């Protein structure tokens, strides 16, 4: 049986620490928790999927330039296998949220193994902007209009 503590930031304090370093705006997130903690306080001892939830919301917010989306993390191990979490996040752009989930997954994994230098937030946001505009096109026209790929130089 897996150790239930292994899902908590209590045993991996480097993850929220590095996450707030990459995404300082996370400290302004509203978070409904039993103790009335701010999100930053809550992060000292919370489930890692809860960080994942806030990160997906944050990535979408940075691309959309707004912060109105909500999320929720639930679990019930009397019904589900121990260790299964259900993370719900709102979205307005289907492709963007899928991209944000993948990026968030990669970020949490990199931070877990102390590889913060592998994460380039601006590049990730830039890629998500492209994904979001494809998502907007699909919403409006039902298809992606192909444009010649413009190569951008990386410094």
Piece of the chain touching Zn ion by CB under 5 A; list 15-23, 25-33, 56-64, 125-133? 25-33
Nearest-angstrom CA–CA distance, 119 and 121: 6
Which parts of the chain fold into alpha helices (H)? Answer: 14-22, 39-42, 48-64, 94-112, 121-141
Q: Give backbone dihedrals phi and psi of 71, rounded to 5 degrees, phi first.
A: -150, 170
User: Which CB atom, from 60 or from 135, has the smaller least distance to Zn ion?
Assistant: 60
Give yes or no for residue 51 binding Zn ion (CB under 5 A): no
User: Which CB atom, from 31 or from 48, has the smaller least distance to Zn ion?
Assistant: 31
Q: Residue 51: name the closest of 102, 105, 95 by CA.
A: 105
Q: Which of residues 94-153 bind Zn ion (CB under 5 A)?
A: none
Piece of the chain touching Zn ion by CB under 5 A; list 7-15, 23-31, 111-119, 140-148? 23-31
Give yes or no for residue 31 binding Zn ion (CB under 5 A): yes
């Amino acid at each position: 049986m897996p150790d239930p503590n292994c899902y908590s930031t209590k045993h991996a304090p480097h993850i929220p620490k590095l996450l707030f370093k990459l995404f300082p705006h996370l400290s302004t997130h509203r978070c409904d928790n039993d103790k009335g903690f701010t999100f930053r306080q809550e992060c000292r001892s919370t489930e890692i999927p809860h960080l994942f939830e806030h990160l997906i919301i944050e990535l979408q917010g940075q691309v959309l330039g707004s912060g109105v989306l909500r999320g929720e993390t639930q679990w019930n191990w009397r019904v589900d296998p121990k260790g299964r979490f259900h993370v719900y996040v709102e979205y307005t752009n289907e492709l963007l949220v899928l991209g944000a989930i993948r990026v968030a997954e990669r970020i949490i994994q990199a931070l877990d193994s102390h590889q913060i230098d592998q994460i380039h937030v601006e590049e990730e946001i830039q890629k998500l902007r492209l994904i979001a505009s494809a998502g907007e096109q699909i919403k409006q026209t039902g298809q992606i209009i192909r444009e010649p790929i413009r190569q951008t130089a990386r410094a």
